[in-house]
Structure 1
């Protein structure tokens, strides 16, 4: 095995400029996809069978579970990646170890980056992946359908009054969202007003006293099967908070909502409906 890998390393270290230029234009057939959302979006456009390696937690669709794992968010297995002989690596701009990616780039492997921030960016991901794989037509169909669904949700809630919402991304340490965070864009669509939106970082750590002072009308606590609800904050201790007083808690599926894929819109639809119910209840109680 070490001999094979050594030969691969030697070969890649001396990739000619001409070969590298050709590599930049050919359709990718052997793809390493370094994040769950990348895998899911490749399957969405019909390129899932080209993914020969991925990272932990790439579990959708079902076929993704059988793709070999070559690392996680903290570390990539360089030898396994080189031995797989990919013609393309699609990396997550903010979710992969940069030092490992820099090492891989030195071997002449083509690396492109996925960097979605807003819901609209998912359509751009489809189109970009379509260009990389020669599946432009399928990708364009997915992008158009995705944007149509997104715009429908936006139009449904664009004139709704705002409701104050604390987003409990993680309980310990208590972490929320702000600015350009992916979930922030989603709750904006539902017209949920985050009192910490102006924080200096996208995922600020918040203390309990700050939340109490903000008096949110609802609290959003994303959940997944991997997270124990015993870790969550016991908000009942602060019964004066409107969200606690009115039992206004929402628990979206974070595995869907937090992934930059078309499935996020399914969970967003449900989230906006639940926020709207709490909004109507609040304004009715206030006599508005």
Structure 2
């Protein structure tokens, strides 16, 4: 009887231990299924994934994915020009997040034909960033963190809009590139920065989003501020030599600012910091002009 009791006790303990092991194994399986491995095919996608806590799930990315610092350690499997299909096949990601207009369409089509699960990113404005954050969070297993990040982003954006909505507009020129001289218009990503910071862009209504402009077209616009974003990834780049044109009011008054191009041109949470900084610098020019004409 005593032996039977001992055997029964051991059996119950064994069953309990097995149940716990089974439960733990199932939890790990579910966790793996809900936290897929990812190839992120653009710098802004990588940033978003880190923002929602999915950075460690990224097993491959493309060139220039250098933020945050940890992103520099991710293996690069191509660029915006060409993807290394063989490397993608080797890595066997559970999910590929691609940039709809920034990745080679033929490579993406081939990956789809090979059966890879591809989700597309195409944020065209600040509001789209919050939408994509929520979507990426949901498909990568970080819904709660994604919602928190998206709500904070939306609140910050609303605060910036409220701060600058009644400011006096000043005339500005946005130098996207210097050779050839290229600016922005409606439909471009940077135009919303100008709109929210109350900068009147004389080229806003040009049909193409990123028009090439001759200096002869800039001169009659009475530009009060020149915005010349620069990137650490463009060390060889030289900005347009505005000092050769002192007839432009912005040049004469030394109202040329050089914000961080990487922060401004990547469609990420960080772009709001760039927006806030830009608006503050523009406000300084606004104050200078008001004092000059008072």
The reply to whether TM is greater than 0.5 is yes
In structure 1, the gaps of 5 or more residues are 1-25
In structure 2, the partner of 1:261 is: 268
Please tell me whether residue 79 in structure 1 is matched to residue 119 in structure 2: no
Q: Distance in 1 between matches of 2:268 and 2:180?
A: 27
Give matches, 1:188-267, under 5 Å.
188-228=195-235, 231-267=238-274
Instruction: Give the 3 Å change call, closer, same or farther, for CA 214–124 of structure 1 in structure 2.
Output: same
In structure 2, the partner of 1:280 is: 287
In structure 2, the partner of 1:49 is: 56
Report how many residues are paired: 262
SS of 1:52 mapped into structure 2: strand
RMSD: 1.3
Aligned-residue offset at 1:229: 7.5
Please tell me whether residue 108 in structure 1 is matched to residue 115 in structure 2: yes
1:47-68 CA-partner distances (Å, limit 9, x unpaired): 1111110000111111111111
Q: Distance in 2 between matches of 1:216 and 1:162?
A: 12
In structure 1, the partner of 2:170 is: 163
Q: Distance in 1 between matches of 2:293 and 2:78?
A: 52
Question: Alignment partner for residue 68 of structure 1, among 47, 68, 75?
Answer: 75
User: Which deviates more, 52-61 or 128-137?
Assistant: 128-137
In structure 2, the partner of 1:13 is: none
Q: Distance in 2 between matches of 1:52 and 1:260?
A: 21
In structure 1, the partner of 2:43 is: 36
Aligned-residue offset at 1:225: 2.1
In structure 2, the gaps of 5 or more residues are 1-32
In structure 1, the partner of 2:27 is: none
Q: Distance in 2 between matches of 1:240 and 1:62?
A: 43
Instruction: Give the 3 Å change call, closer, same or farther, for CA 76–265 of structure 1 in structure 2.
Output: same
TM-score of the superposed pair, with normalisation by structure 1:
0.88
SS of 1:143 mapped into structure 2: helix
SS of 2:172 mapped into structure 1: strand
Aligned-residue offset at 1:169: 0.6
Contact 1:119–1:186, Cα closer than 8 Å, also in 2: no
SS of 1:41 mapped into structure 2: helix
Q: Which runs of 4+ in 1 moved over 6 A?
A: none
Q: Distance in 2 between matches of 1:71 and 1:229?
A: 22
Contact 1:28–1:88, Cα closer than 8 Å, also in 2: no
| Max Rg structure | 2
